Chains A and B, each alone.
Chain A
Amino acid sequence: MTSALLFFTELTQAPSKAQRELLTLAARFDSATVALTGDISEEATGIVGSYGIGRILQAPAGDGFQDHEVGVLDAAVQTVNPQIVLLANDSFHREVAARVAARREVGIITDAIDVSADRTVTKDELAGAYTARVNPVADLVLVTVKPNSVEDAPAGGESAAVVEPLEVAAYASRLQVVGREEKPASGRPSLGEARIVVSGGRGVDGDFSPVEDLADALGAAVGASRAATDAGWIDHDFQVGQTGTTVSPQLYISAGISGAIQQKAGMQTSKYIVAVNKDEDAPIFEIADFGIIGDLKQILPQAAEEIRRRQS
């Protein structure tokens, strides 16, 4: 019997695409439980149930930063006694997993792209240049899974999951949250989860509108190189690469980006890569499935218009 525990910090609405992928993975084990901080909607309990997952352990949301979540996950681990814990791959969830792994003196595996029922984890190494298989050696392992790694497939459970309260001891935090600011929402898909990403670099020369316009025609997320974020043309949140977001979409369109190592580190596992660059020697062409030598300011608007023409 192998039991899995999933950890979420947000389930007030229907589960996100990445959360559904985690539910799909958890359903591969003999039993699975969700641990949650914060409120849960009725819709979400129904959807969790549809993956054949019957139990949700719910703790209140924390008002500090991370210490509460570490305590909740640790308490859930002790309640459920799972052999595997699955979490999102973003820095917050990685760190929660890492801290619980240190407390329990067990392993943590990040950047997973698949997990099998015998707990063998497939993961990216060296920015996707290698694919490694890693096994846990202890009775427990914590794994953070990259979005877009598995096909979302509800197992077909019929009843909604049952929500039980989870008791957690009060914690003393060593830090204070002294500022909290909501970032403006773009209305586009989130960069890490999107099926298509259109990214712009220094070549956009201060004007992201051709990139945004093509993204909107494709229903895609917008990305950027560090040259573009450093120049202040777009927020750092949109940066793709070693020190930005790692993406692995079906399609990555790179426009006005040379293809430096640190940029490639964040996008080279994309299924298809299309590059638009006016320099025929740009390294990005070495990894592009389809390359266009030309001016993005001409090509992107023309493509966006053509897509809209075909859609109508």
Chain B
Amino acid sequence: MSDASSTPLTILVLVKHVPDAQFDRHIDQSTLRMDRSESILSELDEYAVEAALAIAEERGGPKAGNQVIAATMGGPKAVGSIKKALQMGATSGLHLNDETLAGSDATATSRALAALVKYAGNVDLVVTGMASTDAETAVVPAQLAERLEFAALTNASRVEFDSAASALTISRDHGSESLKLSASFPAVLSVTDQANEPRYPNFRGIMAAKKKKTEEVTAADLGLDASAVGAAGSGTEVVSAEARPARTAGTVITDNGQAGIALVNYLAEQKLI
């Protein structure tokens, strides 16, 4: 075994606490921010947790000293998402919880998260989801890579970890091409829902999570000035957010053997053909 393959890894997985998409989601008209009362670990970040755990396991898992830190930036309740990641198998939590962070756009979010990664110290790999299901920007991972000067292995539909070489190879789509990209640590890895099948927390995981530690930090602890985060640190400002009129059901017919013709008549009436 080479030296690299026996060195324990520090992996930081970013989990976002987001409004549950199974319910109607709202933007509050007085603050123009999302109603976050019914929130959960972003469905797409479960794939990130799974990828982080799988890579750590290739190295021998927590027993061999590998750490998977579940980190989030969000209000007091966001600790719920860390808890879920700990139940899945992450080794500790890191919660950036500070009122001044509310209203951060992507650029301000990535600035704060980059500071959080540096605070965690000696991180080899940052794993993220492909997009947050609330902001849906899918840009925070690329911005983090840029800020941290890490390789940007983004939108991975497949991840292979070569433990001996400490290198990752991913597959990703790129227009009409399918690419394989390879990089060694440090790196940012964002994974799509094709990359793996996230595990469910089992009873042992749930019990073990109760003993795991979550550290809570503020923006000041990370050396971030109040003007660098939240609305003050953002490059964009939301001035209005209007609900689109809900789509309603139109005409529904039952096929009597001629529905294909009725379909074409409908398209012709609407001048779609």
The 9 tightest CB contacts between A and B, nearest first, are: A107-B235, A302-B260, A294-B255, A179-B180, A98-B139, A174-B151, A107-B236, A291-B252, A95-B142
Contacts of A251 in B (CB 8 A): 267, 272
Of B34, B142, B174, most buried by chain A (CB within 10 Å of CB) is B142
Contacts of B258 in A (CB 8 A): 302
Determine whether the beta carbon of A109 is less than 8 Å from that of B236.
yes
Determine whether the beta carbon of B183 is less than 8 Å from that of A174.
yes
Contacts of B250 in A (CB 8 A): 288-291
Contacts of A92 in B (CB 8 A): 174-175
Determine whether the beta carbon of B142 is less than 8 Å from that of A98.
yes
A291, B254: Cα distance in complex, Å = 8
Determine whether the beta carbon of A174 is less than 8 Å from that of B133.
no
Determine whether the beta carbon of A177 is less than 8 Å from that of B181.
yes
Count class of interface residues, chain A: 35 or more
Given contacts A110-B138, A251-B272, A290-B251, contact A133 B260 (CB under 8 A): no
A274, B262: Cα distance in complex, Å = 12
The tally of CB-CB contacts under 8 A between chains A and B is 260
Determine whether the beta carbon of A95 is less than 8 Å from that of B249.
no
Does B22 touch A at the CB level, under 8 Å? yes
Determine whether the beta carbon of A175 is less than 8 Å from that of B176.
no
Measured CB to CB, the closest approach of chain B to A30, in angstroms, equals 22
Does B210 touch A at the CB level, under 8 Å? no
Does B238 touch A at the CB level, under 8 Å? yes
Q: Which of B110, B241, B249 contacts A102 (CB 8 A)?
A: B110
Determine whether the beta carbon of B263 is less than 8 Å from that of A102.
no
Determine whether the beta carbon of A110 is less than 8 Å from that of B152.
no
Q: Which of B66-74, B116-124, B153-161 contacts A (4 or more CB under 8 A)?
A: B153-161
Closest to A96 in B: B142
Given contacts A290-B250, A293-B254, A294-B259, contact A108 B182 (CB under 8 A): no
Contacts of A272 in B (CB 8 A): 270, 272
Determine whether the beta carbon of A111 is less than 8 Å from that of B240.
no
- New A-B contacts (12) at CB < 8 Å, excluding given A66-B152, A120-B239: A98-B142, A105-B111, A137-B237, A178-B180, A183-B176, A272-B270, A285-B252, A289-B250, A290-B266, A292-B263, A299-B263, A307-B264
Q: Which of A21-29, A33-41, A123-131 contacts B (4 or more CB under 8 A)?
A: A123-131
List A88-134 residues whose CB lies under 8 Å from chain B. Answer: 90-92, 94-95, 97-99, 101-103, 105-111, 120, 125-134
Determine whether the beta carbon of A132 is less than 8 Å from that of B252.
no
Determine whether the beta carbon of B139 is less than 8 Å from that of A105.
no
Contacts of A70 in B (CB 8 A): 146
Closest to A128 in B: B244
Closest to A101 in B: B107
Of A90, A98, A107, A180, most buried by chain B (CB within 10 Å of CB) is A98
Q: Which of B106, B139, B253, B261 contacts A306 (CB 8 A)?
A: B261
Contacts of B140 in A (CB 8 A): 98
A179, B147: Cα distance in complex, Å = 27
Measured CB to CB, the closest approach of chain B to A162, in angstroms, equals 28
Given contacts A108-B137, A298-B260, contact A131 B241 (CB under 8 A): yes
Does B234 touch A at the CB level, under 8 Å? yes
List A277-301 residues whose CB lies under 8 Å from chain B. Answer: 280, 285-295, 298-301
Please list 13 pairs of residues, one from A and one from B, whose beta carbons are closer than 8 Å in the complex, sorted by A's number: A107-B106, A126-B136, A136-B237, A175-B182, A177-B180, A180-B178, A181-B177, A183-B176, A185-B176, A288-B252, A289-B251, A294-B254, A302-B259
Measured CB to CB, the closest approach of chain A to B273, in angstroms, equals 6
Closest to A295 in B: B255
Binding site for B on A (CB under 8 A): 65-66, 70, 90-92, 94-95, 97-99, 101-103, 105-111, 120, 125-138, 141, 174-183, 185, 196, 218, 236-237, 242-243, 250-251, 261-262, 265, 268-269, 272-274, 276, 280, 285-295, 298-307, 310
Determine whether the beta carbon of B235 is less than 8 Å from that of A106.
yes
Closest to A105 in B: B107
List B90-111 residues whose CB lies under 8 Å from chain A. Answer: 105-107, 110-111
Measured CB to CB, the closest approach of chain A to B261, in angstroms, equals 5
Determine whether the beta carbon of B255 is less than 8 Å from that of A292.
yes
Determine whether the beta carbon of A105 is less than 8 Å from that of B133.
no
Given contacts A292-B255, A302-B261, contact A287 B249 (CB under 8 A): yes
Closest to B180 in A: A179
Determine whether the beta carbon of A141 is less than 8 Å from that of B235.
yes
Contacts of B106 in A (CB 8 A): 98, 101, 107-108, 110
Given contacts A102-B110, A103-B146, A182-B176, contact A91 B235 (CB under 8 A): no
Does B145 touch A at the CB level, under 8 Å? yes
Determine whether the beta carbon of A274 is less than 8 Å from that of B266.
yes
Given contacts A65-B179, A95-B152, A298-B255, contact A134 B239 (CB under 8 A): yes
Q: Which of A94, A130, A261, A291 contacts B249 (CB 8 A)?
A: A291
Of A91, A127, A265, A274, most buried by chain B (CB within 10 Å of CB) is A91
Determine whether the beta carbon of B238 is less than 8 Å from that of A132.
yes
Contacts of A95 in B (CB 8 A): 138-139, 142, 152, 154
Contact pattern, B 204-248, Cβ under 8 Å of A = 1, otherwise 0? 000000000000000000000000000000111111111110011
Measured CB to CB, the closest approach of chain A to B163, in angstroms, equals 17
